[in-house]
Structure 1
Amino acid sequence: MEKPPHKQGRLTAGPYGQWEEEAKRLIEEEMMRRGIRYKQLSRMLEQLGIYESPDQLNRKINRKRFSAAFLIACLRVMGAETIALHQFKQGQYIE
């Protein structure tokens, strides 16, 4: 019997698991590179009309459950002009 389509809820590994991890990594690396903490990111996002507390940002990013729009807004507000996408092979990064 075929597996039912994905139910609403958290994808743990599934087809998007590696991409969720990559998105989280992009935000965290940019934050580390620029010495930005969640409180600062929260204030920076307010300039774009995005109001989330530092705790909300921390949870959202660590859960790896956010939209592409949120990812782009975070990277843009931190001043990222380019991003490096690493290749995956069976759930492993290839650098």
Structure 2
Amino acid sequence: MPQRSEWEEKAANLLKAEIKRHGLTYAQLVEKLAEVGVSEDERNVRNKVSRGKFTAAFLLQCFSAIGSQEIRL
């Protein structure tokens, strides 16, 4: 299995932190994504986050669905 790059690691950690900060499970994130018109299943979301390989658009969709108003880098 290929190693994640430093940037993929940072992106995954940033998204994981926001999910935890809002007290959500991946299943709840999938529900919130559906509410904003993003069709994903829990397994795909879990894999994307685990690998750290997702688009900036997906990251923004997740932040929007979660209700994140401010992101700390």
TM-score (norm 2): 0.88
- Tell me the residue number matched to 1:84: 72
Give 1:43-62 correspondences, 5 Å limit: 43-62=31-50
Task: Tell me which stretches of 4 or more aligned residues in structure 1 moved more than 4 Å.
Answer: none
Corresponding residue of 1:37: 25
Shift of 1:45: 0.4
1:64 to 33, 52, 60: 52
* Structure whose residues are more often strand by fraction: 1
Q: CA deviation at 1:11?
A: 6.5
* 1:46-79 CA-partner distances (Å, limit 9, x unpaired): 1222111111110111011100000011011111
* Equivalent position amino acid for 1:26 in 2: L
Aligned amino acid, residue 3 of structure 2: T
5+ residue gaps, structure 1: 1-9, 86-95
When Rg is computed on C-alpha atoms for both structures, the one with the higher figure is 1
Q: What SS does structure 1 have at the residue aligned with 2:40?
A: coil
What stretches of structure 2 of length at least 5 have no aligned partner?
A: none
Q: How many residues align?
A: 73
What RMSD, in angstroms, separates the aligned Cα atoms of the two structures?
1.6
Q: CA deviation at 1:23?
A: 1.0
More helix by share: 2
Q: Percent identity?
A: 34
SS in 2 for 1:22: helix
TM-score w.r.t. the length of structure 1 is 0.70
